Amino acid sequence: MAAVAAKAEELKNLGVEVLAISIDSPFVHKVWNETELSKLIDGGFPFVMVSDGAGKIGQLYGVYDQEAMVNLRGTFLIDPDGVIQTMEIHNAPIGRNFNELVRRVQAAQHVRNSGGTEAAPANWEPGKPTLKPDIKIAGKVYEVYKS
């Protein structure tokens, strides 16, 4: 959560809305933010925290662990049309890379802004070449894009 909070300004500048969802109650969220997160990041967690006490949201997104009664760590990039563009699910002890999240947001936005005429290949970053899907590049991608 502190890693997401550290990227708050960058995410806001990209127009990203962040929701943190867990099975914890709003009271636990408040205490955790005030006693833990605020020590890790000035001002604490600047995004909305949603309580999913019954795990229903987690079940809808396939991250609810029924046996442990917790939501696994999931990151879902949902476009303005409500379509999931990327998702990443981790077991609890495995951390996420929020630099990669920012890169995926940028890639998804670039592809959307191109009207779907460009694809962001592996390791793509803003300013790097994209691919323009076309039958003419079949078997010639190496000539168009070298990663």
What's the whole-number mean pLDDT along residues 51-56? 95
Element holding 144 (H helix, E strand) = helix 141-144
- Domains of the chain from N-terminus onward: 2-93 (3.40.30.10)
How many CB atoms sit inside 10 A of residue 147's CB?
A: 10
Query: Comparing 127 with 133, which gets the higher pLDDT?
Result: 127
Phi, psi of 119 (to 5 degrees): -120, 140
Predicted structure pTM score: 0.84
Which band of pLDDT confidence, cut at 50, 70 and 90, is reported for residue 137?
confident
pLDDT of residue 146: 63
Q: Which has the closest alpha carbon to 74: 60, 63, 86?
A: 63
- pLDDT per residue over 59-99, tens digit each? 999 999 999 998 999 999 999 999 999 999 988 788 888 89
pLDDT for 141: 73
Q: Which of 70, 108, 67, 117 is nearest to 87 (CA)?
A: 108
pLDDT band at 14 (very low <50, low <70, confident <90, very high): very high
Query: Residue 124: its pLDDT value, please?
Result: 92
